[in-house]
Structure formats: structure tokens, C-alpha cells
Amino acid sequence: MGGTVASGLVVGGLWASEVVREGLAQEAQAATELPSPAPVRVRPATPITKHTELEVPVETPTMFLGVADDVLLAPLRDSPITEVKFNKGGSSISLRIDFENGARAAFKPRQTNWQSVPRREVVAFRINRLLGLSSVPPAIGRRFQLSEILGALHPDSRFFRPRLKAEMIQKDGWVTGELSWWIPVIQRGRVDGFEIDSMEGIVSWKRYLAVGAKIPDRDLALIQQISNMVLFDFIISNPDRWSGGNARVSEDQRVLYFMDNTLSFGDRPDGHPKARTYFERCQTFSRSLVARLRTLEESEVRQALERDVEPFDFFLRDPEIKALLSRRDRALAYIDSLIRQHGEDAVLAFP
Ligand SMILES: Nc1ncnc2c1ncn2[C@@H]1O[C@H](COP(=O)(O)OP(=O)(O)O)[C@@H](O)[C@H]1O
Ligand SMILES: [Mg+2]
């Protein structure tokens, strides 16, 4: 994780949204030229030094929509809540929170639905960046007083008050969970005119992700990112992508967002069958993502999960880290068998 760039972190939401607009424009431009993920973790050839006596190598910060993750996360860390709305549509408790400084985030609390584990969203974000991707919205842990959440409920969401009280796990009046930076506009993605998570849409992108398939220019950007998504979901063992609107896209249909990863991880070395089935439907992959998977080391995973753990007790248990690396090995074994059959250029078809 890029961690040493500290300037400009204390920004209000309004400023951040300006920056994001600019970032979005750049992202759209970049997507037109090269719809693959921007490379991150580039270490400058010459270390940049702050003091002559203290050489501090500065890594390029990881980004989302053209803006450094840390810049987007800073305003979510301690500003008081002004308004809370219930996000309908999903099966778990998910809230939209507005903060006094103008920032906005999605909040997933620890809840009685034991499958939805908020710390895992933060892990998914960090692993996403560790692999050089910029597709999971930046996420951090935070805790709130239950009374602060309930006291800011929007009138339209007051109906959910009893459910919030019953299902959010509290300890001494506090609720712990995860904040994901709020993507201002999301919409349904389409391939061949079909929604990407409909039966027809899945059949379409699966067809385009077969070796040798000709992909129409119109759909190329999304298809490449779907390939990254199914590979990523296998690595993190995410069973919850293709139902419930967890694969959404930008307004211009060029950026695919990997949203809602709270059911991921666990200790299955062969991955959740759902994640595995989607992955094995795919035969073409990004050359740079596969190269990054080959170099990924356990120490990097541990390091990425070492900092900023509060208010969680931990991010992943040892068996979960081992299982993640086993899934990486299995993913590469599958991709290498395809390469032996069809050749590298046919399989590593995307940049
Ligand atoms: N980071 C975000 N940016 C924008 N909208 C979001 C974000 N997170 C969640 N949402 C909205 O809230 C809905 C429910 O969130 P989700 O995390 O999918 O919860 P559930 O577990 O209930 O499916 C999403 O379908 C989306 O419309
Ligand atoms: Mg969801």
C-alpha cells in the first residue's frame, strides 16, 4: 500500500468531490485509451528524500477514480454524522451516511447476519490495490455511537429503526463497521445490450471471454474488467457478485466497480464454488494482473493488512491468508494450463 504520502489528506467533502470530478474526467480519458487498470506501486528509480539525512522512498499512492485513496478516506475518519439513510435493495443492513464536512460513505455495521462481515470489505479494498487494481471503493473501519446513527435517521428511513436496533451488533452503545467511499453515480452495466448480471448478460460476457473471441469495441472496456473481476473474486472467494447489484458501472459504462465484498475470504483453498464457477467460465485474462499474481508474496499480504486495523481486532486469520495464497496458486495453475493449450498471446489477451 502506498503509505508515505501525507500531504493534502485533511480535505473536506466538497473539495474531495471537485477532485473526484477532475479524476473522473481523467479516468474516462484513460479508459478510452487503455481500459486496463492503472499500474500502481511504482517505486521511483531515485528515492525522493524529505531530509538529506533521512532517505524516505515514496511510493505512488493507490487510487480510485483518479484520486489517491488516502485523500478520499481522510474525510471519513472522524467527522460527525449529519444524516443516515437506509440503502434498500440488498439483504443486509447498509446505510448511506452524510458527514458534517460534506463527505459521504456507505456504512456496513457488524450485524446479526453473520455472513456479512464488514472488516472483509476493507480487506477486499486492500487486496484489490495490492494486485494493482483500482476497482473496489476505498474502505476503512469506523465505530459510531448507536445513538448518533439513530438520531440522524432521515424521516424516510425511520421505518427501519427497529430493524437497525435489533440487527446491528452493539457493545457498550457502540456500533463497529466499515465505511466505503460513496461513488456519486453508479448504474447497471451492459454487454450486448444486456445487463451484465442478467442471465443473457452473463452468457454474453462469458462468450467474449473465450479464447479467440472477437469483442466489439463498444463492450471491450467492460469485458476486460469483468475478466479482472472474476479472477479477483476467485482469489478473494467472493460468492456474492452476480446477484444483488454488486457489479455496477460508471455513467459512461467504462469503469466497473467491484462493490459489496463482505461475504468474501474464509479458509477454502479451492474457493467458494460460485466464485470458482464464474472464474472457470473465463479463458482470457489481463497480462499485467497475471504477472502481478505471480510475484505476490505472503509478506506483502500481511503487510497490507497490518496498518489501520482499528476498530477491528484483526483483518484476516492465518488460515484465511494461507487459503488466499492457495487460491492464487490454483488460479495460476488454471491459467497456465490454458496457456499450454492455446498459447500465451491468446490467453493473456488483455493488457
Ligand atoms: N460505496 C458505495 N457507493 C455508492 N453506492 C453504494 C455504495 N455502497 C453501497 N451502495 C448502494 O447501496 C446498495 C446496498 O449496498 P450493498 O453493500 O450492496 O449491501 P447489501 O449487502 O445489502 O447488498 C448498493 O446496491 C448500492 O446501491
Ligand atoms: Mg449488495
**Span 71-80, average pLDDT:** 98
Higher-pLDDT residue of 32 and 257 is 257
Say whether pLDDT at 114 is over 60: yes
Ligand 2 centre and the CA of 263: distance in Å? 10
Tell the residue nearest (CA) to atom 23 of ligand 1: 90
pTM summary value: 0.87
Tell the residue nearest (CA) to atom 26 of ligand 1: 87
Say whether pLDDT at 110 is over 60: yes
Say whether pLDDT at 11 is over 70: no
Q: How far is CA 208 from the centre of its chain?
A: 24
Does the C-beta of 250 come closer than 6 Å to ligand 1? no
Does the C-beta of 89 come closer than 6 Å to ligand 1? yes
| Most trustworthy range by pLDDT among 10-14, 48-52, 132-136 | 132-136
Ligand 1 centre and the CA of 260: distance in Å? 7
pLDDT 10s digits, 284-306: 999 999 999 999 999 999 999 99
Q: What percent of the chain stands above pLDDT 90?
A: 80
pLDDT 10s digits, 146-161: 999 999 999 999 999 9
pLDDT 10s digits, 160-197: 999 999 999 999 999 999 999 999 999 999 999 999 99
**Span 248-254, average pLDDT:** 95
Higher-pLDDT residue of 34 and 350 is 350
Tell the residue nearest (CA) to atom 1 of ligand 1: 182
Say whether pLDDT at 24 is over 80: no
Does the C-beta of 94 come closer than 6 Å to ligand 1? yes
